[in-house]
Chain A
Amino acid sequence: MTQRTGKLVSRWTRVNGQRWHAMASVPPAEKPSPVVVMVHGIGIASSYFVPLAERLAPRYRVYAIDLPGFGQTAKPGRPLNFVELSDALDDWMKASSIESAAVIGNSVGCQIAVNLAVRHPGRVRRMVLVGPTVDPEGRTILSQLTRWGVDLPREDPGQLPMTLRDYWRAGPRRIVATFKFSLEDRIEEKLPRVSAPTMVVRGARDPIVPQQWAEEAVRLLPNGRLIVIPGAPHALNFAAPLEVSRVIRPFLDEQPAMLNAGGTQ
């Protein structure tokens, strides 16, 4: 029952002439494994997905990506909106020979995952929305910043150094622009068009994603379910990786055949 943890290495892919960075699991030697792609939130990058990725690595081919402009992936001339980011992710999957994957998002990464699932449905076999934003009831700059301020002391302090480094890499202009894009992107209008089975995972102490909104999101999804992790904050993938891996593994394994990526067969 004890989970082994796998090893992750930096992997570089050239997509439309731009270098993309992802933390990728060292693939299991033999049989092809299901592919899992992890999409980060605002400002941060693949780094804070590593604890969860390591726990999934022994069983899946895991990629925690840096979106264009964030982490170590090349920076486009201007900040990309969420439609553009999801199209870029589609391009990266194509370039990486990943036909389809289980996509796991955190925070605004969920919005990018949902855009990908709606615009390129073939790419998303299953989806896990960990703390999906933006709650329509709090869609103002003030409300979001207040909630973020309440959440911050509840997060694992170990996340702080990598957050600062990733914020530095992304730069204030891109962070502010992406934040504005997140408020413009209405996830509640897109959730009903997601055909992939989707699990919403919420931290019970996440002020950014209130219980009511998480329940509403699941109601809007044609095939959705909700899991609440007691005591956990917004960035569950870093603060509670063991718990998240335990609740999503049975979900990821429900139809293992469906998860196999074309590129590996």
Chain B
Amino acid sequence: MTRKLRDSVMVITGASSGIGRATALAAARRGSTVVLAARREQALQELASECQGLGGRALAVQTDVRNEEAVRNLARRAIENYGRIDVWVNNAAVTLFARFEEAPPDIYRQVFETNLFGQIHGARAVLPYFREQGSGVLINLSSVVAKVGQPYASAYVTTKHAIRGFSECLRQEVLDADDIHVCTILPAAIDTPLYQQAANYTGRAPKPMNPVYSAEKVAEAIISCAEHPKREVEVGGSSRAIGAMRAVAPGMSEKAAAKAVEKDHFTDTVVPPGPGNVLEPVPEWAEVSGGWQTTGEMPTGKIAAGAAGAAAVSGMAVAGWLWMRNRDDGWKKTIRKVQRK
């Protein structure tokens, strides 16, 4: 049985902006004690005050998740201040937009350091405390791109695939502890400043692909997992649709994804190449939203997601029919063979 949010201590990495910030505020609103981690000290302090104003206890611990010792220190600080960690949200992530062949190798590697090793460091730091308590919820932020690929984002996509696999492995390893849980969150395109902060070597400014959902929606999914842990939670209707499409027609869906990225993932604004916040944090964009339109939550967005879902289902039906027909042909051939003999 997990604890009430009001009585829980929640550690959140990548809390200075986007989904992490939204989660911290949502948890504080419910009276949770939040331990906030990110590289940007000032943004963290401001968030801590904001959380305290909402009725939660809050502690800011400046942390670069690429540094394992820093992550261990984060866990230790939480324990020394509150005696317990009930929920650990591995959220910190950066991204890089570049064709693989044009991506600077050092930037590429750093995406893995933050996204994947950051979560590995988090899990390694917190699980011994969970074991000692006999309870705890580890929530790992993966993505809908843990199910599909995308051009221009291979570093990000690969880390998100890895996180999903890593989480599934951990989930099986903690089966021996009744009240220790590992949850994977798979958000669709979310309105956060991830795109403004991204490293970018494409020459064009990136934007989230439609339909876009709000960071608060992901925060609600995280909070819900903290209270009632689930294996995997998809956020945003398009996530499910993409998964279904992929299952039905993998080849076609890959080509469709590539086309969609070309069409919808970039604006026409020309931007110079740069490492964004991948190597060092940037002071701007310490906010929940990136100012994108949350089209996924508008009626048309829902219709679009629904249409994608319907397309996936009908695709599945067509594929099934084709398969059955082929199988029938096979039977007919066999029967004919038998008859010939």
Interface positions of A (Cβ within 8 A of B): 1-3, 204-205, 227-232, 240, 242-244, 246-247, 250
Instruction: Confirm or deny: B133 has a beta carbon within 8 angstroms of a beta carbon on chain A.
Output: yes
Q: How many residues of B contact A (CB 8 A)?
A: 20
- The verdict on A204 contacting B80 (CB below 8 Å), with A1-B128, A230-B33 known, is no
Instruction: Confirm or deny: B9 has a beta carbon within 8 angstroms of a beta carbon on chain A.
Output: yes
Q: Is the CB of B132 within 8 A of A242?
A: yes
Q: Is the CB of B4 within 8 A of A231?
A: yes
Q: Is the CB of B7 within 8 A of A247?
A: no
Q: Is the CB of B83 within 8 A of A240?
A: yes
Residues of B within 8 A of A246 (CB): 79-80, 83-84
Q: Is the CB of A231 within 8 A of B129?
A: no
Q: Is the CB of A247 within 8 A of B80?
A: yes
Instruction: Confirm or deny: B259 has a beta carbon within 8 angstroms of a beta carbon on chain A.
Output: no
- The verdict on A231 contacting B57 (CB below 8 Å), with A2-B131, A242-B133, A246-B79 known, is no
Q: How far is the CB of B137 from chain A (nearest CB, A)?
A: 15
Would you give the 0/1 interface string for B77-90, flagging 1 where the beta carbon is closer than 8 Å to chain A?
00111111000000
When chains A and B are docked, how far (Å) is the Cα of A247 from the Cα of B79? 7
When chains A and B are docked, how far (Å) is the Cα of A147 from the Cα of B8? 23
Q: How many A-B residue pairs have CB under 8 A?
A: 54
Closest 8 pairs between A and B when the two form their complex, measured CB to CB = A243-B83, A231-B7, A1-B128, A230-B33, A246-B83, A229-B83, A247-B83, A2-B132
When chains A and B are docked, how far (Å) is the Cα of A250 from the Cα of B81? 10
Least CB separation from A250: chain B residue: B80
Q: Which listed residue (B4, B8, B32, B129) contacts A1, Cβ 8 A?
A: B129
Least CB separation from A247: chain B residue: B83
When chains A and B are docked, how far (Å) is the Cα of A3 from the Cα of B133? 10
Q: How far is the CB of A119 from chain B (nearest CB, A)?
A: 31
Q: How far is the CB of B308 from chain A (nearest CB, A)?
A: 42
Contacts A1-B128, A230-B9 given; 18 further ones with Cβ under 8 A?
Answer: A1-B132, A2-B128, A204-B57, A205-B7, A227-B82, A227-B83, A228-B57, A229-B82, A230-B6, A230-B7, A230-B84, A231-B8, A242-B83, A242-B84, A246-B79, A246-B80, A246-B83, A247-B79
Q: How far is the CB of B81 from chain A (nearest CB, A)?
A: 7
Least CB separation from A201: chain B residue: B83
When chains A and B are docked, how far (Å) is the Cα of A131 from the Cα of B317? 66
Residues of B within 8 A of A231 (CB): 3-4, 6-8
Would you give the 0/1 interface string for B26-43, flagging 1 where the beta carbon is closer than 8 Å to chain A?
000000110000000000
Give 18 A-B contacts (CB < 8 Å), ordered by A residue.
A2-B128, A2-B132, A204-B33, A227-B82, A228-B57, A228-B82, A230-B7, A230-B9, A232-B83, A240-B84, A242-B83, A242-B84, A243-B82, A243-B83, A246-B79, A246-B80, A247-B79, A247-B82
When chains A and B are docked, how far (Å) is the Cα of A240 from the Cα of B79? 13
When chains A and B are docked, how far (Å) is the Cα of A240 from the Cα of B84? 10
When chains A and B are docked, how far (Å) is the Cα of A227 from the Cα of B84? 12
Q: Is the CB of B132 within 8 A of A230?
A: no
Interface positions, chain B 120-153, Cβ under 8 Å from A, are 128-129, 131-133
- The verdict on A3 contacting B7 (CB below 8 Å), with A230-B33, A247-B83 known, is no
Q: Is the CB of B81 within 8 A of A247?
A: yes
Q: How far is the CB of B240 from chain A (nearest CB, A)?
A: 35
Q: How far is the CB of B2 from chain A (nearest CB, A)?
A: 12
Residues of A within 8 A of B81 (CB): 227, 247
Q: How far is the CB of A70 from chain B (nearest CB, A)?
A: 27
When chains A and B are docked, how far (Å) is the Cα of A251 from the Cα of B81? 11
Residues of B within 8 A of A250 (CB): 80
Q: How far is the CB of B130 from chain A (nearest CB, A)?
A: 11
Least CB separation from B8: chain A residue: A230
When chains A and B are docked, how far (Å) is the Cα of A243 from the Cα of B128? 14
Question: Among A205, A231, A232, A247, which residue has the most Cβ atoms of chain B within 10 A?
Answer: A231
Q: Is the CB of A204 within 8 A of B7?
A: yes
Residues of B within 8 A of A1 (CB): 128-129, 132
